[in-house]
Amino acid sequence: MSKKEWPLWEIFIRGQHGLNHRHVGSLHAPDAEMAINHARDVYTRRKEGVSIWVVPSSEITASSPSDKGPLFDPAESKVYRHPTFFDIPDEVGHM
């Protein structure tokens, strides 16, 4: 068994031109260049992408599951942020 484990990388793929990169999974690689090579083999075997980002997993800061309430609940009562909250009479036409 190799003493040294390769670090973990998070992989983001842009599916088509004009779309955001999206997180697709993670993989191990010794460095960023190899991470891109591996990501190509593991996540784009069927033309799933036109661009790859790799980020060391250790560099990701995530919100804690226990903060879910304080972070996201305040938005619940603010339905007026959606356009459908306001009734516009049909006579006004498309808005």
Partner 1 sequence: MYAQMIKSEKSNETPEELAAFQARIDRGERIEPKEWMPEGYRKTLIRQIGQHAHSEIVGQLPEGNWVTRAPTLERKAILLAKVQDEAGHGLYLYSACETLGVSRDELFEKLHSGAMKYSSIFNYPTLTWADMGAVGWLVDGAAIMNQVPLQRTSYGPYARAMIRICKEESFHQRQGYSVMMKMAQGTEAQKAMAQDALNRFWYPALMMFGPSDAESVHSEQNMAWKIKINSNDELRQRFVNETVPQAHYLGLTVPDENLKFNEETGNWDFSQPDWTEFFEVLKGNGPCNEERLGARRKAWDDGEWFRDGLSAYAEKSAARRAAVAAE
Question: Would you count residue 42 as binding partner 1 (CB under 8 A)?
Answer: yes
- Which of 18, 59, 61, 65 touches partner 1 (CB under 8 A)? 65
- Distance (Å, whole) CA 43 – CA 85: 41
- Distance (Å, whole) CA 66 – CA 87: 37
Closer by beta carbon to partner 1, 1 or else 95: 1
Closer by beta carbon to partner 1, 20 or else 64: 64
- Distance (Å, whole) CA 43 – CA 13: 8
Question: Would you count residue 41 as binding partner 1 (CB under 8 A)?
Answer: yes
* Residue 77 Cβ vs partner 1, minimum distance, rounded to whole Å: 22
Report the first-to-last Cα separation within the chain, whole angstroms: 65
